[in-house]
Amino acid sequence: MSTRIVVDPVTRIEGHLRIEAVVENGVVTDAFSAGTMVRGIEKILKGRDPRDAWAFVERVCGVCTGIHALASVRAVEDALKITVPPNAELVRNLMYGTLSVHDHVVHFYHLHALDWVDVASVLKANPVETSKIAQSLSRWPKSNPGHFAAVQQRIKKHVESGQLGIFANGYWGNKAYKLPPEVNLLAVSHYLDALEWQKEIVKIHAIFGGKNPHPNYLVGGVPCSFNLEEVNAINTERLNHVGSLIKDAIEFVEQVYIPDLLAIASFYKDWGAIGGGLENYLSYGDMPTRGYNDPSSFFLPRGAILGRNLNEVHDVNPRDLDEIKEYIPHSWYKYAEGDQVGLHPWKGETEFNYTGPKPPYEHLNVEGKYSWIKTPRWKEHAMEVGPLSRMLIAYAKGHTDVKDLVGTVLGKLNVPVTALFSTLGRTAARGIETQLLVHEMKATFDKLISNLKNNERRTFNPDSWEPSSWPAQADGVGMAEAPRGALAHWIKIKDKAIDNYQLVVPSTWNASPRDAKGQRSAYEASLIGTPVSNPDQPLEIIRTIHSFDPCLACAVHLYDPSGKQIHQVQVN
């Protein structure tokens, strides 16, 4: 018997994600991903001063804010041939590290952990045993029996209040949950610690970017000035604060996040063989150390892997009109040259063409157009983007730290390298990357301090700030690695104003519909073969979709074979 499952809610920020999956004999046999993203940003930007674009694009996504601003200023700088001073590069890398590390930790504990951790089971735990486990895993101070007993009481009170709120949508008690009560209590306790910790780390954005959640960016540099003695500038006191936040981040990641990841993963090793999906991985790379135009200097390398062949990393050139193209045979747009062609983003068009049913509806016509997301392809290949792609490309390029960390994680879990190509691998790669990034933040911070001590204070390059110095026409591309994957903004500047502006965001790569050849994108491909033990509680589907860290909220609808909706679930 086959059942059809759908994912569909509304979010204020980026739109929503809807997945229709066909489940036969307890296994997903086909899947269709449809999404509504903020679209038409180019219409708002056309005719504006390119130096202002970052402030608008920063608002297209509520979870990636700063990274869109970064991609935007890079696109303008690329078009106008502006190089930023070394300190600006370092500050941007610190902002970047903060964003990713914060996002990854919040994803693990607050968006993904409850797919693996049963909150209801916490009440059955023995806090003394939890304490023993905690102390065997790390030297995190909050690990005595009294602490865990107090956490257990707080959860009990919360559950008894009937105001489950954030925990309301869990499938508590589902047999797919495998952790013993004591490990569940440990994880929930760290869920609370992570809530506290995440409040602190983001202060780095406010220190360098003036404010949060929407920090300031600047074409040509960063909008902050250093003066170690000046009260209103970034002075010694503020820098010391940044230094201590980075130190705390290293401590939290190494003593809490990574030990939890390994402890939880050890009960779910079977997920090292589920949810792999596509075999192609793409990363633009990020954290330049010798300028944006020298990708060989990037801490997170650029490249593409095809067919899971880790012996070869292909070069990626987003400026090449033949490499990245967006297709729309299944997307609600139309192209002047017809819907079968692919367009490079510099030639991108945004003409809406909604042909779907009037909402609310039960099913999409997956034979025709069924999504607001276009389908990007790299050299015609469907590519997965995200931390797994970044770590695989770094690994394949021989990045020593990545090879060591990946080796350690695989060793501790006693799983083969092929386990990386999975839902578990995606979740583990995010943790590995976080550990890598907190240390790189420390190194970046030390470089910044050393520059300042040597009286190198420049943060802004004014050479091409004035529009009078700009050419009549200029094209640029701003690439970045958002926490959830490869992000790029393509800009065309004409007569000092924006003429065209196209975004290809990570969820476009991962969540897009099929292309003209019928090739699935990452979400659709990853769900094939996923077991669903209880169709009323499609926990397994959620695990795999969440492993991508979607920037779209989702809900699950279940259908019986006749297409009648039998169930609807909001997924958190």
Q: For residue 85, what are the contacts with CB-CB under 8 A and spacing of at least 6?
A: 221, 458, 459, 460, 461
CA gap 440, 450 in Å, rounded? 15
* # binding residues, other proteins (CB under 8 A): 49
Alpha-carbon gap, residue 341 to 271, rounded angstroms = 38
Considering the rule CB under 8 A, would residue 172 count as an interface residue with other proteins? Answer: no
Binding test (CB under 8 A) with other proteins, winner from 120, 176, 192, 443: 192
Give yes or no: 507 in active site.
Answer: yes
**Among 536, 541, 510, 520, which Cα is nearest to 271's?**
541
Task: Indicate whether 195 belongs to the interface with other proteins (CB under 8 A).
Answer: yes
Does position 203 interact with other proteins (CB under 8 A)? The reply is yes
Shortest distance in whole angstroms from residue 104 CB to other proteins? 12
- Taking the CA atoms of residue 114, residue 119, residue 121 and residue 127 in that order, the dihedral angle to the nearest 10 degrees is 110
Pick between residue 333 and residue 460 the one whose CB is nearest to other proteins: 333
Exactly one of 2, 43, 351, 471 binds other proteins (CB under 8 A); which one? 43
- Among 402, 391, 380, residue whose Cα is nearest residue 426: 391
CB of 150 vs other proteins, minimal distance in Å: 9
Q: Which of 20, 42, 58, 64 is catalytic?
A: 64
Closest CA to 386 of 100, 99, 96: 100
> Which residue in 59, 132, 147, 457 binds other proteins (CB under 8 A)?
59
Nearest alpha carbon to residue 74 among 94, 88, 59, 60: 88
CB atoms within 10 A of CB 294: 10
Number of H helices, E strands in the chain: 16, 12
Q: Is 200 an interacting residue with respect to other proteins (CB under 8 A)?
A: yes
- 169 interacts with other proteins by CB under 8 A: no
Rounded to an integer, what distance in angstroms lies between the CA atom of residue 370 and that of residue 387? 27
Residues 534-563, mask of contacts with other proteins (x by CB under 8 A): -------------------x-x--------
Which stretches of 34-123 are DSSP H helices?
41-45, 53-57, 65-80, 86-106
Residue list 501-530, contact with other proteins (CB under 8 A): none
User: Tell me, what amino acid is at 502?
Assistant: Q
CA distance 138 to 455: 41
- 102 is a site residue for other proteins (CB under 8 A): yes
Which residue in the set 27, 56, 254, 449 belongs to the binding site for other proteins (CB under 8 A)?
A: 56
Asked if residue 439 binds other proteins (CB under 8 A), the reply is no
Question: 4, 18, 28, 39: which one contacts other proteins (CB under 8 A)?
Answer: 39
Among 46, 132, 214, 269, binds other proteins (CB under 8 A): 214
Which of 4, 16, 18, 377 lies at the binding interface for other proteins (CB under 8 A)? 16
CB 41 within 8 A of CB 27: no
In contact, 372 and 359? CB cutoff 8 Å: no
Q: How many CB atoms lie within 10 A of CB 38?
A: 17
Phi and psi at residue 108, in whole multiples of 5°? -60, -50
Sorted by sequence, the CB contacts under 8 Å of residue 471 that are 6+ apart come out as none
Applying CB under 8 A, among 26, 27, 29, 110 the residue interacting with other proteins is 110
What minimum distance in Å lies between the beta carbon of 171 and other proteins? Answer: 16
| Range in contact with other proteins (rule: CB under 8 A) among 104-112, 263-271, 479-487, 502-510 | 104-112
| 163 lines the binding site for other proteins (CB under 8 A) | yes
Candidate ranges 200-208, 224-232, 377-385, 473-481; the one touching other proteins (CB under 8 A): 200-208
224 is catalytic: no
3-class SS at 198? helix
To the nearest whole angstrom, how small is the minimum distance from the Cβ of residue 331 to other proteins? Answer: 15
Residue 12 binding other proteins, by CB under 8 A: yes
Active site residues: 14, 61, 64, 68, 484, 507, 551, 554
Q: Provide the binding-site residues for other proteins, judged by CB under 8 A.
A: 9-14, 16, 38-41, 43-44, 56, 59-63, 65, 102, 106, 110-111, 154-155, 158, 161, 163, 165-167, 192, 195-196, 198-200, 202-203, 205, 211-214, 553, 555, 570, 572
